[in-house]
Amino acid sequence: MERGIIRFIGRVKEVEDNISTIKIYKKYCPGLLRIEKFSHLIFLYWFHERDNEEHRSTLQVYPRRHKVEILTGVYACRSPSRPNPIGHTIVELLEVTECILKVKGLDALPDSPIIDIKPYHPRSDSIPEAVSPSWTEKGYKR
């Protein structure tokens, strides 16, 4: 089995009313330079509560957020149970204070390790003509 190394750059400290506080480790704070210029960010984080052999061996699920009984491969949905428990969310950046970020819309739990942060670029990160199955329209909305 191939392996790589992921360095966590911070952790979710608090989640309240859809607002998350993220502490970036001091070593990685210089990477936040000019991040406040963006209104939205892409967060990659680790589903730490799913990091066990049972969840990492899951390859098919019934997506719970979509209220349908359609067996689906984990690569065709956003299940947190998957071989590499990596989460992905686009958030609104509310505040930056030194190594602390406040964001709206992060679907990570408190203590979730942060893998990476990328700026959201409307020109390249939005695909208006993208197509998805109709069952995905019935799920969770922010």
Domain boundaries, the chain: 1-47+85-121, 51-83
User: Looking at 8-22, 39-53, 122-136, which range is the least confident one?
Assistant: 122-136
CB atoms within 10 A of CB 60: 13
Strands (E) across 65-120 are located at: 72-73, 86-97, 100-104, 113-119
Predicted model pTM = 0.88
DSSP state of 125: H
Token pair of 43 as six digits: 């967060």
pLDDT tens readout for residues 60-71: 998 876 566 889
Sort residue 103 into left (φ over 0), alpha (ψ -120 to 50) or beta.
beta
pLDDT tens readout for residues 83-102: 999 999 999 999 999 999 99
Nearest to 97 by CA among 15, 21, 8: 21
CATH match for 1-47+85-121 among 2.40.30.70, 3.40.50.720, 2.40.240.20, 3.30.465.10 = 2.40.30.70
As to burial, measured by CB atoms within 10 angstroms (0-12 exposed, 13-18 middle, 19+ buried), residue 19 is middle
The neighbouring-strand residues paired with 72 are: 61
Cβ–Cβ < 8 Å for 15, 109: yes
